Structure 1
Amino acid sequence: MKSAEELQQKLYFLLERLQEMARKLPLQYQQRMPYELLSGLANCLLNETIFKIVEGLTEIQQVTEKQLLQQRLKLLHRHRAEKKSLAKKSPESVTEIEEEQVATHPVELKQADMNLILQLDQLVADQQGTLEKAGVPGFYSTSNPQEIQVQMYLLDFILKLGKESDNNSS
């Protein structure tokens, strides 16, 4: 168990680092990170569990993004194969169904991309909910792009501080 003095020193260190990182942001985002938010975040980060939660959410996001990319690449590969197959045939032997299939590729790709975006939006909402339940200041459910950008900066801060913490303890 850390002494009160050690916790106080760690709190000051975390707050100082958060303020340094916030000062490097574009002005419009600096203004969205008042002292109270950074102070609350520093206090919250005294609990090492928050670093583990953010690491876990990051891993889940990376796996999900890879899976979604693979889905998209698979669809593009199928489209390419269908076009190639059609190109090899003589114009007389191409059926109407095959022509329609290739003609719908842009629509199919757009629908797939919209589905990917919805899945990513759901992932963001899940992350926001998890961090809000964990009591991390600045996190709540929102679809406002500016607020999401602020949350992304806060996540970046947490990840950087988590790495610094790992480096200092090893």
Structure 2
Amino acid sequence: MDNDQFEKRVRFLLHHLKKMSREMPSDLRQRVPYELLSSLAANLAQATVLAEAGFRDSAPELPKPVSNTDKTTGKYVWFGQVSDQQGTLEKAGVPGFFVSSKPVEIRVQMHLLEFILKLRSIS
């Protein structure tokens, strides 16, 4: 991927991340600054997040157990050891992920994970 393609990809991802972040509840939206979205877009454009976090082109899976889809809402629901999941994503270099037991930070991270999964389906 040349520099122009990379920058175009970052802009595409950032556009979608900003659009998705606007749909977040306002109390969480303020915890997701432009810089975080920009870093996430650049990281996703480099494809390192997907590869290092265990995503595969042929089978888009997260490290187990991370998420499941709630049949009633269509939202991703985390289960299992949240701190292990956070640590895995943090080690993979995913911006916005770090080990925390604070409910508001976990909710923000759940939204970020949902964004990544949605982007995976439109990319």
Q: How far apart are the structure 2 equivalents of 1:48 and 1:149? A: 24
Kindly indicate whether the alpha-carbon contact (under 8 Å) linking 1:51 and 1:159 is maintained by their aligned counterparts in 2: no
- Residue 15 of structure 2 corresponds to residue 57 of structure 1: no
Give the deviation of 1:138 after TM superposition: 0.6
Higher relative contact order (CA 8 A, sep 6+): 1
TM-score (norm 2): 0.78
User: 1:9-48: CA deviations, max 9, x gaps?
Assistant: 0000101100000001111111010001100111110132
Q: Which has the higher helix share?
A: 1
1:28 matched to which residue of 2?
A: 27
TM-score relative to the length of structure 1:
0.58
Q: Which runs of 5+ in 2 are unaligned?
A: 69-78
Q: Deviations over 1:41-88 (max 9, x none)?
A: 111101324235254326x2279x8xxxxxxxxxxxxxxxxxxxxxxx
Q: Which runs of 5+ in 1 are unaligned?
A: 66-118, 166-170
C-alpha distance in structure 2 between counterparts of 1:62 and 1:7, whole Å? 29
Structure exhibiting the larger radius of gyration computed from Cα positions: 1
Q: How many residues align?
A: 107
What RMSD in Å do the two structures reach over aligned CA positions?
Answer: 2.1
Moved over 3 A (4+): none
In structure 2, what is the equivalent of residue 17 of structure 1? Answer: 16
